[in-house]
Homo-oligomer: A and B are copies of this chain.
Amino acid sequence: MAYTTPGQTREKVFRLVRERILAGLPPTVREVQRAFGFQSVQTAREHLDALVAEGRLHKEPGRSRGFRLPFASGFALVPLLGQVQAGALTTAIENPEGYLPVAPPAAGSELFALRVRGESMIGAGILPGDIAIVRRQPTADHGEIVVAMVDDEATVKRLHLRRGRVELHPENPAFPVIAPNPRALVILGKVIEVRRYFEEPAVVEASS
């Protein structure tokens, strides 16, 4: 064995780099050097190059802090809206209660989040207080769970399209099916995810 156990230091280097990347800022070569007390930059570089060669890290040549994890890290923030009144969606998005981290959405799609009120979707496992992550879109397919404007308020229901009829179905027998005028129905978006937080803080604060 050489100065240290083979692979042992390298493993620690990998973990440091991974941790820094996940924390939001990849390290520079010299930051790695300092973190391990190497006397030479090159020592850090050799470990890093080896990790890249092993495929454990990716690297963008020439770029400072150009280390990435092999899987696409990164995420997006979606604004958490409280309640949404008709026509006020844009306004609400500009004044969110906070932000939630989500996996990066497909290009061009716009996400927002809403707190679910009421027990109308209990049958679908959506409880009061749950948070719905919604992709903004004006239409949806039969059977999908959507956010729609009903009585000047945003509501979460399952969309039914049958024989030219459009209906919003609750998932709770105690609630009525809503059959709005198809021309008057405004769909805000499709629910792509539901979350329930048992512990705070759950949300990134809206301002510093």
Contacts and interface: CB of A to CB of B under 8 A. Distances in A.
B193 A194 contact: no
Sort chain A's interface into a size bin: 35 or more
A64 B23 contact: no
Nearest to A196: B194
Interface stretch (A37-45, A122-130, A173-181): A122-130
Copies of this chain, whole number: 2
A100 B73 CA distance: 9
A135 B197 CA distance: 12
Determine which residue in A127, A199, A201 has the highest number of CB atoms from chain B within 10 A of its CB, and name it.
Answer: A199
B192 A199 contact: yes
A104 interface: yes
Contacts of A125: 122, 125-127, 130, 196
A103 B104 contact: no
Interface in A179-195: 190-195
A103 B198 contact: no
A145 to B, nearest CB: 7
